[in-house]
Amino acid sequence: MENNCQDCGCKDKFLPVAPCVDPAECPSPEKCEETFDSACVVYTGLDLKCGNDTVVGTNDTVEKALQSIVAKVCELSTEAFDVTINPSENDSLQAVLSNGVAPYSFLWTIAQGVFTGYAITPGSGTSAAVYLTPVPGETLQVGGISGATGAVRMVHLKLEVTDANLNKVVRYFTYANLV
């Protein structure tokens, strides 16, 4: 066996077998009969990527791969961003973002059951805005509301926003209007 690592503790000899602490608890045959130093085991698969970033490269040691994975997880979890949804004029909603890394992708969907007071446009893509189109006949009748016909049109929306670092935020918003 050829040793390609430098100063990693590997030698061209057999590595020690990890002993069982309590022989009564040891599976037979043992599941892991050998132990290897993570600096001496090389990953030979395809590059593992997060977006365009190579997190684990071919021929990285397992030690380096684990360190890179932990660093990427910590990086992604600290760069979270916030999304608020604000109603705009003409039956539209606007997502407002703080922090995060552009470009963003938006996926607007209707998050309720059978009753849908509005249809949405565009629904997905790079637009932070969604436009609401009333669905004819889809209103709730209510009584005793001054100045209204006694009907409410509403929709419950879900918005998923993903930034360039693949961080994702999900928000829900209920839009209602007297008709």
Interval 22-52: pLDDT, tens:
656 666 666 666 777 888 889 999 999 887 8
What dihedral do alpha carbons 21, 24, 25, 26 form, nearest 10°? 80
Instruction: Tell me the average pLDDT across 139-148.
Output: 63
Tell me which DSSP letter residue 138 carries.
-
User: How many angstroms separate the Cα of 64 from the Cα of each of 68, 98, 172?
Assistant: 6, 33, 40
- Per-residue model confidence as pLDDT tens digits over 102-114: 888 999 988 875 5
- The three-state secondary structure class of 52 is coil
Domain with CATH 2.60.40 in the chain: 81-178
User: How many angstroms separate the Cα of 80 from the Cα of each of 67, 83, 118, 166, 168?
Assistant: 21, 10, 31, 10, 8
pLDDT band, residue 16 (cuts 50/70/90): low
Q: What is the pLDDT of residue 47?
A: 93
Which fold is adopted by the domain 81-178? Immunoglobulin-like (2.60.40)
pLDDT band, residue 149 (cuts 50/70/90): low
Q: What is the pLDDT of residue 1?
A: 42
Quick check: 147 pLDDT over 80?
A: no
Cα 53 to Cα 55: distance, rounded to the nearest angstrom = 6
Q: What is the mean pLDDT of the chain?
A: 77
Cα 150 to Cα 127: distance, rounded to the nearest angstrom = 34
pLDDT band, residue 148 (cuts 50/70/90): low
pLDDT band, residue 61 (cuts 50/70/90): very high
